[in-house]
Structure 1
Amino acid sequence: MKRTIATLAAATLAAGALTLPAHADRFEPAPGAPGLNDPLFPDLGNGGYDVRHYDVSFDFTPVTYDFAATVTIKATAVQDLSSFNLDTDGHLIDEVTVDGRPAAWALSPGRTGQELTVTPAEPLRNHRPFTAEVRLHGNGKAPRGGLTGWRFGPDGGFAAAVQASRADTFFPVNDHPSDKATWTFHMKVPEGYVATANGELTAKDGDVWRFEEREPMASELLGLAVVKGTYLYGTGPHALPLRHVVPQGQEEKYGPIAAETAGQIEWAEARFGRFPFSTYGVHIYPGYTDALENQTLSLFGTGWFTRPTYSNTMIHELIHQWFGDSVTPATWQDAWLNEGPAVYYAAVWAEEKGGEKLADKMRTVYGKLDAVRAKDGPPGRPKGLGGYNIYDGGALVLYALQKEIGERDFDRVMRRWVQRNKDGNASTEDFIAHAVKTTHRPGLDAFLRGWLYGETNPPLEIS
């Protein structure tokens, strides 16, 4: 029987022959890193600890946009910590405690916002759980060091649209997709307004709404809002609870659109398996102009629904619940793993509904992508976010993969990817390894590397 190092050490210790090195219990606290060296955003996130849970209390006053908040962070040190950082931007910090004791804190400029450096009364040991609490206040329209995550509507309210790095404009956070956590939200709002947040509405006590997001979530998927809206309810496949928020007084206009979600989820589940979260819905808000995959509650501007192809956009954001929300990129340079599937499957949906043929769309992308690769980088190594290389280029990678391995193996690759990595993080290298392992096809590693990292498009026959 094979004896592990741990087994051998235990046997030696029992014999009284093991001499522990003098430094085995050494305590050497040092500051946690003020960034995680993300290839695109090196200052985002913070080192030295792992967040397990956020508990956020948020008291917002419409029209004036003033707010007060308390964020309680349950985390575990992953090194001996003398201090640690949180990402924040544009707030007035009132008090910081660690494990109930006052902590020293300081604000300094960061690349996209500010760094809040917290120094506990006593250093924290590696592997030790701790609780940090930050009390703050501010105004949603106050100046920020970078872009803001606040979106304001004509109702005097707001909706959060924080991707990629603007959760810190609401409260201090470890703002990188690799540090997913569970969340509790207590949203205090005045009469005439409703609150939204990620997860399930589990209680409403007077003017305080409590939401629980029990599945791990990256901070960039934050879905807070205080609006003049109406909740609409439905049921999806497997009795999945659906809740939607539409503008107050426009229930008849947007109710039928929201009701389409159940059938859209059924369509997606046929490809990827069960919906990965305990609830889903859409939030339609006149204060927003884009569409965003906030976890469990996708956000849409009202303008999308003036287009006959609006369901393509709804499918795009729904697919993100699997690709991007449940399986979150390890770094922002892996963002094609979010956008590629969303664009690809929205195009599949569009063709099924009588729209543009997938092959025609991919032919157009193929013709444009070489120039985009040269300027913005290939799909797997983009130089920034939001580009054609990540969205349509990522979809083209998947189209080429489907042509290379066949529809049956392609479906297995995509379904098993989201099932094996549920609630976690994964990288482009992980996807390549997964595709090779799933299909056992010789040469597939080199094939995918050419498409993801190559300076030019590999040959592709589109018919």
Structure 2
Amino acid sequence: MRLPRLLVAAATLTALGACSGGGGGVDGTPGGSGVRDPYFPKAGNGGYDVGHYDLVLDYDPDAEHVTGTATITARATQDLSAFNLDLKGLDVEKVTVEGRAARFHRAGQELTVRPPDELDKGRRFRVRVRYSGEPGTVTDPDGSEEGWLPTDDGAVGLGEPVGSMAWFPGNHHPSDKASYDLTVTVPDDYGAVSNGQLTSRTTKGGRTTFHWHTAEPMASYVATVAVGDWRISRSVTEDGLPVYTAVDPEQEDASRTVLAQLPEIVKWERDLFGPYPFSSTGVIVDRPGDAGYALETQNRPYFPGAPDTETLVHELAHQWYGDSVTPKTWRDMWLNEGFATYAQWLWTEDHGGDTAQETFDALYDGTYFDDEESDEALWAFPPGKPPGAAHVSDSPVYRRGAMVLHRIRQTVGDDAFRALLRDWAAAHRHGNADTGDFTAFVEKSAPDEDFTEIWDDWLYGDGKPKRP
């Protein structure tokens, strides 16, 4: 478990005094070097709230080298003498605040910036960071890799939970969401696909620049850029939602049938969960092995190889639960994965397969898995209380999280449960929520029901609960 690094004002100012940049003495206090997330305490930063990222990247796939400028517009939430950005690796060349050179200091993943003048609480300010280098990967406590992942024909940036700090500086915690502009320049035989909508594409001197805009708030862990050779497909759903898919040529045939279902899946989820929360949808399908997992990158989920239908349902469901309604901390991960997993159960139920009750019973009775080890892992810990950062993506967070939702459905009935799914997505649309928010919301939605056993035994209780 990584421990938080406390930023002591006197020590910070001493260190900053030895670094390059502009001068000027200020009073006040520095923002925190983390938001004290229970599982990733160094992630994010205190003292400010980001409103917008404007990222300009130039990437050379042969050299695996990036040159970048990040312009971050934020609001001070306290009087700030200094503030931190998360950035792992890469060389910082210059930092300015409101157009004036600022002193900066590097320590681990922390880029500490001292503005030339104090930033008063409530003030909006703009910080610009020029940086370059070979972006790297981040190995999670569970052994998976994220960050900037080189591929056979380019690279992909993936961020869950903290990997986005490998390719741009920012406030990298899901509690701080922002809009984005991402401008990427690559050799003209490459494409660059990102979140939101493609607003321009220009070619000059053998290099092509792609400008992507994401208007709705986005957590940095679901920001992405995928550089490679893509087969692009553009269309609109029957209600006018733009669809943009990028598929590696080697995966085009394998993906064709499942991607043809995308408009149907989005419509089914919209009918179940409420209005689609973003201005476009789609997918990115890379080659198998380019990453070790699929990810719900906002607007267009990323897949290493052609997905099956249930996986596509799962990642698209995250657009509501995870991307729009985003957890306040990584301890609340089951609010992402339990909902997306239950969406798979509901899709199967609505399309002639096992009912959600049959899936629930198979998991409870130990007949769902082919091996005893997987069955035991399901009951290793409760979904609302993972034992640490290495376990936030384990089976209980997904499947036992879905079982919690099924127990709520059993308690309130089908109609009330489906209303609850929609109302929860609407109540926290484009915002953040934690497990306490959810349990309070459920209790308020069904005031005549008693959820004590569900919370105590299924959400937070250790071991296998008794059969309902």
**TM-score for both structures, normalised by structure 2:** 0.86
3-state SS, counterpart of residue 271 of structure 2: helix
Report the CA distance shift for 1:92/1:396 in structure 2 as closer, same or farther (over 3 A): same
Is the contact made by 1:370 and 1:457 (CA closer than 8 Å) also made in structure 2? no
Q: Does structure 1 residue 226 correspond to structure 2 residue 227?
A: yes
Is the contact made by 1:105 and 1:116 (CA closer than 8 Å) also made in structure 2? yes
Q: Does structure 1 residue 274 correspond to structure 2 residue 257?
A: no
**Structure 2 match to 1:167:** 164
Find the aligned partners of 2:138 and 2:322 in 1 and give their Cα distance: 27
Report the CA distance shift for 1:144/1:407 in structure 2 as closer, same or farther (over 3 A): closer
Is the contact made by 2:384 and 2:460 (CA closer than 8 Å) also made in structure 1? yes
Find the aligned partners of 1:290 and 1:40 in 2 and give their Cα distance: 21
What letter corresponds to residue 72 of structure 1 in structure 2? T
Report the CA distance shift for 1:454/1:289 in structure 2 as closer, same or farther (over 3 A): closer
State the Cα deviation string for residues 126-175 of structure 1 (Å, max 9, x = none).
Answer: 111110000000113x57687541233221x0112211110000011111
3-state SS, counterpart of residue 270 of structure 1: helix
**Structure 1 match to 2:179:** 182
Find the aligned partners of 1:387 and 1:240 in 2 and give their Cα distance: 34
Is the contact made by 1:97 and 1:134 (CA closer than 8 Å) also made in structure 2? yes
**Structure 1 match to 2:4:** none
Is the contact made by 1:244 and 1:283 (CA closer than 8 Å) also made in structure 2? yes
Measured on the aligned residues, the alpha-carbon RMSD in Å equals 2.1
Structure 1 regions of 5+ residues with no counterpart?
1-26
State the Cα deviation string for residues 79-98 of structure 1 (Å, max 9, x = none).
Answer: 11111111111111111111
3-state SS, counterpart of residue 239 of structure 2: helix
State the Cα deviation string for residues 58-116 of structure 1 (Å, max 9, x = none).
Answer: 1111222111011000000011111111111111111111111111111112xxxx111
Find the aligned partners of 2:407 and 2:137 in 1 and give their Cα distance: 45
State the Cα deviation string for residues 389-439 of structure 1 (Å, max 9, x = none).
Answer: 111110010011111111111111111000111000001011111111112
Query: What number of residue pairs does the alignment pair up?
Result: 423
- The structural deviation recorded for 1:251 is 4.2
**Structure 2 match to 1:334:** 332
Find the aligned partners of 2:139 and 2:395 in 1 and give their Cα distance: 27
What letter corresponds to residue 331 of structure 1 in structure 2? T
Question: Which stretch of structure 1 is more off in the superposition, 255-264 or 441-450?
Answer: 441-450
What letter corresponds to residue 125 of structure 1 in structure 2? D
Structure number, greater radius of gyration? 1
**Structure 2 match to 1:104:** 103
- Map residues 12-31 of structure 1 onto 2, 5 A cutoff: 29-31=28-30
What letter corresponds to residue 297 of structure 1 in structure 2? R
- The structural deviation recorded for 1:42 is 1.2
- Map residues 59-458 of structure 1 onto 2, 5 A cutoff: 59-109=58-108, 114-140=109-135, 142=136, 147-155=145-153, 157-206=154-203, 207-248=208-249, 251-286=252-287, 287-302=290-305, 304-305=306-307, 310-366=308-364, 372=377, 375=380, 377-383=381-387, 384=389, 385-444=392-451, 447-458=454-465
State the Cα deviation string for residues 270-308 of structure 1 (Å, max 9, x = none).
Answer: 111111100000110012342110000100111x44xxx
Question: Which stretch of structure 1 is more off in the superposition, 380-389 or 49-58?
Answer: 380-389
Is the contact made by 2:341 and 2:402 (CA closer than 8 Å) also made in structure 1? yes
Find the aligned partners of 1:342 and 1:430 in 2 and give their Cα distance: 18
Report the CA distance shift for 1:259/1:233 in structure 2 as closer, same or farther (over 3 A): farther
What letter corresponds to residue 414 of structure 2 in structure 1? E
Question: Which stretch of structure 1 is more off in the superposition, 420-429 or 351-360?
Answer: 351-360
Find the aligned partners of 1:189 and 1:283 in 2 and give their Cα distance: 18
What letter corresponds to residue 281 of structure 2 in structure 1? Y
Is the contact made by 1:223 and 1:297 (CA closer than 8 Å) also made in structure 2? no
- The structural deviation recorded for 1:202 is 0.9
Is the contact made by 1:401 and 1:448 (CA closer than 8 Å) also made in structure 2? no
3-state SS, counterpart of residue 42 of structure 2: coil
Report the CA distance shift for 1:131/1:418 in structure 2 as closer, same or farther (over 3 A): same
Find the aligned partners of 2:146 and 2:35 in 1 and give their Cα distance: 21
Is the contact made by 2:137 and 2:149 (CA closer than 8 Å) also made in structure 1? no
Question: Which stretch of structure 1 is more off in the superposition, 325-334 or 222-231?
Answer: 222-231
